[in-house]
Structure 1
Amino acid sequence: MSVPADTARRPSPAPGPVPWVAMYHSVGDCSDDPYRVTVTPERLDRQLTWLTRKGLRGVSVRELLAAHTRGEGRGLVGLTFDDGYADFLTGALPVLRRHDCTATLFALPGRYGGDNAWDPLGPRKPLLTAEGIREAAAEGVEIGSHGLTHVDLTKADDPTLTSETVESRIALSELLGAEVDGFCYPYGTIDRRAVDAVRAAGYAYACAIDPGPLNGVHALPRVHVGQNDTSARLFLKYRLHRLRRRPVEGLR
């Protein structure tokens, strides 16, 4: 079939900027923090103040992706909190409310009320109970899965890969009485097999850190944000992320 000349000459739509998604973990005391996964509530407050002054607003990943699909994502930043630490309710949520921000909390339904046993160094940090996760959801926080028990999916055998992706989604959906759209790869590590398993489990999107050659809504890049990230460092991370990352396929 021939293509009309004017259609053949018409350029493809230019891709939009890659969504900017910030990766947080614990919000509390960071005096003993060998993995740099903790920010204080005061630091989080200053970081969200910087976003506001730049004309940006922090939202959940679900809201961010929906806005980008409509071509309305400019001015929005995704805020994610990995592992489901109990201090999310006391340290992060009040700051998010103060700045009129939402967020996505990636929880571990196989460790309700447990701790960060996967970290051999540093203090044991308590994780949210099932009731705590429901409380966060009731405050408008999107709840996503971080797997069942915080396993590196690139090293998991087939039964473990299935349980970490499929069973964690079922457990959270039953807890919340709602579909769970998002997944976050433990340790940020991904490969094609892990991505395919997450997609097959029914998730609408998945967050990594640096997905390498993989692209798409099931391999979203994120930027680590820590206690040392002042306004100047955040500005650099914001600019460099858009320069270094490829636009996500399927989004505008």
Structure 2
Amino acid sequence: MVVDITLPPYTFEPVRGPLREPVVRRRRAWGPAAWVAMYHSVSDHPEDPYDITVSPARLDRQLAWLRARGLRGVSMRDLLAARAREQERGLVGLTFDDGYADFLTTALPVLGRWGCGATLFVLPGRLDGENDWDALGPRKRLLGAEGIRRAAAAGIEIASHGLTHVDLTKAGPNEMRAEVHRSRSVLADLIDADVQGFCYPYGRLDQHVHDTVRQAGYRYACAIAPPPALAGDFAVPRLHIAQADTAARLELKRRLARVRGRALEAV
């Protein structure tokens, strides 16, 4: 199936209600468990040694699978706001790491087709650059300032993935401050709005990185499979979604999310 990517940009209606300051919570007894999907690039590029590319046709089928099960993809901002009100049932967080330029041309029209929102984690220190941290390639263009503003204007939550995509567990004090603090202020100026979310590059964090992000003024941070001791609103677990994830694989991942500590109930 070929997805029509010529549709006009879709404006998302955010979930209403104030976003509370995140607090450390005790786990609720066996209630609804939300989960968060992690995407990267959306394109038909066949070369993908890191398994980070999903075709627009596959994304379309994956979002159709969500909606057929009464689920709706939303941004992390909206998911956590709903969770604070204990209204997260039926919501799935959709996140896109690195801020690839193909988000505008291929991912956004598909999200709009299914009435889904998302969070886009971008790199303000690499505007109009490329993913040269991926040694094996392929090289993919990253969004520039105008592209990020267009995504924000369409209702997509813009959040930080650091300044230049470095492993923060190996960063010195000055580099850490630039990656965590400066990336937030640069993005806030770029989109003229508060930046609430952070995503750890490579999903890597330790106690020092966790504490630095929290103290920088963010309201949440996304990881992949954080250490249990750090799990919380500043180490939100996510499920990697790939091109191979058919309906059957998605259902399995959904069922295993809680068991493996990848659901928000485990936070």
For normalisation by structure 2, the TM-score amounts to 0.87
Q: CA RMSD in A?
A: 1.6
Which blocks of at least 5 consecutive residues in structure 2 are unaligned? 1-26
Superposition pairs of residues 1-252 of structure 1, within 5 angstroms: 14=29, 16-213=31-228, 214-245=230-261, 248=264
- Residues 144 and 181, structure 1, Cα contact 8 Å, conserved in 2: yes
- Residues 34 and 265, structure 2, Cα contact 8 Å, conserved in 1: no
Q: Report the counterpart of residue 7 of structure 1 in structure 2.
A: none
**Identical counterparts, % of pairs:** 63
Q: Deviations over 1:90-125 (max 9, x none)?
A: 110000000000000000000000000100102110
Q: Using the alignment, how far apart are the partners of 1:173 and 1:218 within structure 2?
A: 19
Large movers: runs of 4+ above 6 Å: none
How many residue pairs match? The answer is 240
What secondary structure sits across from 2:96 in the alignment? strand
Q: Using the alignment, how far apart are the partners of 1:126 and 1:13 within structure 2?
A: 42
Q: Using the alignment, how far apart are the partners of 2:135 and 2:262 within structure 1?
A: 34
Deviation at 1:246, TM superposition (A): 7.0
- Residues 238 and 262, structure 2, Cα contact 8 Å, conserved in 1: no
Q: Using the alignment, how far apart are the partners of 1:69 and 1:208 within structure 2?
A: 20
Deviation at 1:16, TM superposition (A): 3.8
What secondary structure sits across from 2:129 in the alignment? coil
- Residues 217 and 250, structure 1, Cα contact 8 Å, conserved in 2: no
Which is further off, 42-51 or 117-126?
117-126
Rg: which structure is higher? Answer: 1
- Residues 150 and 186, structure 1, Cα contact 8 Å, conserved in 2: yes
Q: Using the alignment, how far apart are the partners of 1:13 and 1:113 within structure 2?
A: 43
- Residues 18 and 245, structure 1, Cα contact 8 Å, conserved in 2: no
For normalisation by structure 1, the TM-score amounts to 0.92
Q: Deviations over 1:187-222 (max 9, x none)?
A: 011111111010011000000000022111000000
Q: Report the counterpart of residue 5 of structure 1 in structure 2.
A: none
